Structures are given as C-alpha cells and as structure tokens.
C-alpha cells in the first residue's frame, strides 16, 4: 500500500519562491509526486490559497501555479461541513492560532 500524504499550500509556495530553508525540500516533495513515491492529496483550499498568496507576488505566477496544481496527480479531497466541524473540534483541543 502506497503512503498517502496531504500536500499543504506551503509546500508549493516554498518550492515556487525558492525559500532559503525549505525550498529544495519542498521541490523534492513535488518531484516525488510525479515519480509516484507516494499518493498526494489536496483540496480546492490549496488552489485558493496558492492563487491568493502568490498573487501578492506576481499574478502570472499565481495563475500558472494554480493551473499546474489542478493538472498534478493530486487526489482532490472534498472539504464539506463535516470536515470543517471536525477541524474546529481539533482546533479547540490543541488551540491553533492563526496570525
């Protein structure tokens, strides 16, 4: 059975902007997706965050990254109210703060 991993937005962003500390590792993760090293999962939230965050840097790069995200071999997980409710419960327990 192949390992399945959720690929968060930061993986894409760090690879695209060539983050000094995490850029190479994130690029390697994205290359591993193309080599079927593991099964990648994501959601439309990743695409929305890619478009939004990269648009502040360059709208063309943001568009290209978002379109490439949809072309990638990434399983689209449906985020419905049950998932949001579960995430909210987890958040209450571990007290995640977004700044």
Domain limits, the chain:
4-94
Q: What is the pLDDT of residues 61-94, one digit of tens each?
A: 999 999 999 999 999 999 899 988 988 888 888 8
Q: What is the pLDDT of residues 20-34, one digit of tens each?
A: 999 999 999 999 999
What's the confidence (pLDDT) of residue 99? Answer: 57
What's the confidence (pLDDT) of residue 21? Answer: 97
What's the confidence (pLDDT) of residue 47? Answer: 94
- Sequence-separated (6 or more) residues with CB below 8 Å from residue 32: 38
What whole-number distance in Å separates Cα of residue 52 and Cα of residue 89? 26
Q: Of the candidates 21, 17, 39, 43, which has an alpha carbon nearest to the alpha carbon of residue 29?
A: 39
Return the percentage of the chain with pLDDT > 70, whole number: 96
Q: What is the mean pLDDT of the chain?
A: 91
């Amino acid at each position: 059975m192949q390992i399945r991993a959720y690929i968060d937005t930061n993986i894409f962003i760090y690879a695209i902007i060539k983050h000094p500390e995490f850029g190479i590792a994130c690029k390697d993760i994205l290359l591993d997706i193309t080599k079927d090293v593991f099964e990648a999962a994501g959601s439309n939230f990743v695409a929305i965050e890619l478009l939004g965050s990269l648009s502040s840097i360059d709208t063309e790069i943001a568009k290209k990254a978002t379109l490439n995200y949809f072309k990638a071999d990434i399983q689209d997980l449906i985020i419905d109210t049950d998932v949001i409710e579960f995430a909210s419960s987890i958040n209450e327990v571990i007290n995640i703060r977004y700044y």
